[in-house]
Amino acid sequence: MIRAIVFITSCFLMSGVEFAQASQNASSSTISDSEISQRVYDFLKQGRYAEAFPLCQHLVELDNATGQVCLGIFYNFGQSVVNQNYKQAAFWYRKAAEQGNKTAQGDLGSMFRDGHGVKQDYTKAFFWYKKAAEQGYISAQNNLGFMFENGYGVTQDYTQAVYWFRKAAEQGDADAQSNLGIMYEKGLGIVKNYNQAIFWYSKAAQQGDALTQRLLGIYYGNGLLGITRDYNQAIHWFRKAAEQGDADAQSNLGIMYEKGLGVVKDYKQAIFWYKKAAEQGNASALAALNNLSR
């Protein structure tokens, strides 16, 4: 379960007047690259991409890694001022990655993993993820764990997967928390421990991770993994995931309403959630709708 690398972690920015002044003084280093970079970050956070882009270009002219990774981000995601162009994204990520920028290294790893702008190559993806992970880049730590878990670009090693998932999970990464929960649940690379699995699933769910919210709904609804059955908790977590569009959670929430588990029996609500799930192609929800219509 990998998510797109979080960006805007090492890009930074400046108003138009300040940028003009910075450009005039750049050669004499009156205005530092870091000051310009801070303004880049501010503009990106505010969604002011048109103002951020020329500053990134200015930093690139100075062979500045922050500017390079920012251009990579623009081309990777097609942020308003440029069309999406994976080859250009990979080009600029590589420039910054070779200068040691951890964000660029992590994002370049994802380009190689997914074959975006470059030929898919798990070995190179692993190489760049490891570079970034060793510098403390949280998303890369989670992705490196995934590579070890699945044997992509490296010999499968569950112990190493757990190590890197934990690194990221302890820093609050929801994907890594979910992944670490799975390792504990299945006993992969670590002694099986349902209490720890639930602990890490709960951490991820509390951050809004729909997958773990649905899993907690299932576990509470069925009394699994050492949890006492609790329909109220099951409803709570199914609803959290369902409201984010998780089709299986929507279907399960429909079941709870249809059968009156943890809520007053309500066929209208059951049909509402079954329809939500069925619209996404959920077969169980479609069958439930057909049964209710008889």
Q: Using the 8-state DSSP alphabet, how is residue 81 labeled?
A: S
Q: Identify the weakest region by mean pLDDT among 18-27, 75-84, 141-150.
A: 18-27
Spatial separation of the C-alpha atoms in residues 85 and 89, rounded to whole Å:
6
- Report the chain's terminal Cα–Cα distance, integer Å: 39
Pick one of 1.10.3210.10, 1.10.10.10, 1.25.40.10, 3.30.379.10 as the CATH number of 215-294: 1.25.40.10
Q: Please give the pLDDT value at position 48.
A: 85
Q: Do 181 and 198 touch, CB atoms closer than 8 A?
A: yes
C-alpha 100/C-alpha 17 separation (Å) is: 31
Which residue ranges make up each domain of the chain? 1-97, 136-207, 215-294
pLDDT given at position 247 = 97
182-236 confidence digits (pLDDT tens): 999 999 999 999 999 999 999 999 999 999 999 999 999 999 999 999 999 999 9
Residues whose CB falls within 8 Å of the CB of residue 61, separated by 6 or more in sequence, listed in order: 67
Q: Is the pLDDT of residue 238 over 90?
A: yes
The pLDDT tens digits for 19-55 are 334 344 333 344 567 777 888 878 888 888 888 899 8
- Mean pLDDT throughout 264-291? 95
In CATH, what number does 136-207 get? 1.25.40.10
Asked if 136-207 and 215-294 have one fold, the answer is yes
% of the chain beyond a pLDDT of 70 = 89
pTM: 0.83
Cα-based distances in Å from 120 to 116, 153, 167? 7, 11, 26
Q: Chain-wide mean pLDDT for the chain?
A: 89
